[in-house]
Amino acid sequence: MASAEFERRGYVATSMRAVAEAAGVSVPTVELVFGTKSQLLRAAISSAIRGDAEPVPMLKRAWAQRAQEASSVGEFLAIVGRVLVEGEQRSAGPILAAFEAANHDESMSALADQLRGQRAETAAWLVDELIARASLRREITREQAIDTVWLLMDPHGFIALTRDRGWTAERFEAWFIDSVHKLLLAGESATSAAATRSRPSRSTTSTSRRRTS
């Protein structure tokens, strides 16, 4: 409830009363659990990013383990792309509210910096996993690759494309994966990765052959 209110109204216009009414509880109840509005926003963002109440860092979760076990760039990015979009759908709005809050509330500046740092950490992890499977373009350094992924993951961009430009989550996911391929990977690696992602499954191919015959 809190995430939706912060996304819809922004940090300044969201009141504890509005959150309480949306949740169907009293203001004292919200204040008892979260304390202040800034603490409520912190909790909302943390829950939105993880998608549950488990205090397990994102890169220590099962999806990250599956991604690390992926044998190809295409398989790796398919897992990461899906998790990224699901996380953006839940958390982009509240995170933008935190960035807005940092302009009005000094205590929120640290949270905004922390969120940017976490995105950089995830981008570095993604790039290092790419390098373990493929080659970056010759003119791209690791640091430049991290900055590129960091920008592609920016919640401002996600909101602009999915809300303002009407993109579906699936379109954004495909765009993210294709952008990583084209901007970061060397020619052969990019072609191989794209082929892996677009290659029809064995069952689909078999079905197609049976229909043809």
Is 137 inside any structural domain? yes
Least confident segment among 19-23, 123-127, 138-142, 205-209? 205-209
Provide the CB-side half-sphere exposure for 41 (13 A, CA): 32
In this predicted structure, the answer to whether residue 91 has a pLDDT above a threshold of 50 is yes
Cα separation, 142 vs 131, whole angstroms: 9
Is 211 inside any structural domain? no
Q: Output the pLDDT for position 117.
A: 95
Is 138 inside any structural domain? yes
Residue 58 tokens, joined = 């994102």
| The total number of structural domains that make up the chain | 1
Residue 61 belongs to what domain range? 57-201
Is 207 inside any structural domain? no
Confidence label for 79 from pLDDT (cuts 50, 70 and 90): very high
Is 90 inside any structural domain? yes
Taking residues 20-38, report their average pLDDT.
83
Is 206 inside any structural domain? no
Taking residues 102-130, report their average pLDDT.
92
Is 128 inside any structural domain? yes
Cα separation, 190 vs 12, whole angstroms: 44
Q: Is the pTM of this model over 0.85?
A: no
The angle that helices 142-152 and 169-184 make with each other, rounded to 10 degrees, is: 170
**Distance (Å) of CA 203 to CA 73, 101, 168, 199:** 22, 50, 27, 12
Write the DSSP assignment of 74-97 as a string of letters.
HHHHHHHHHHHHHHHHHHHHHHHH
Taking residues 157-170, report their average pLDDT.
96
Cα separation, 40 vs 52, whole angstroms: 16
Is 155 inside any structural domain? yes
Q: Output the pLDDT for position 29.
A: 87
Residue 54 tokens, joined = 């488990």
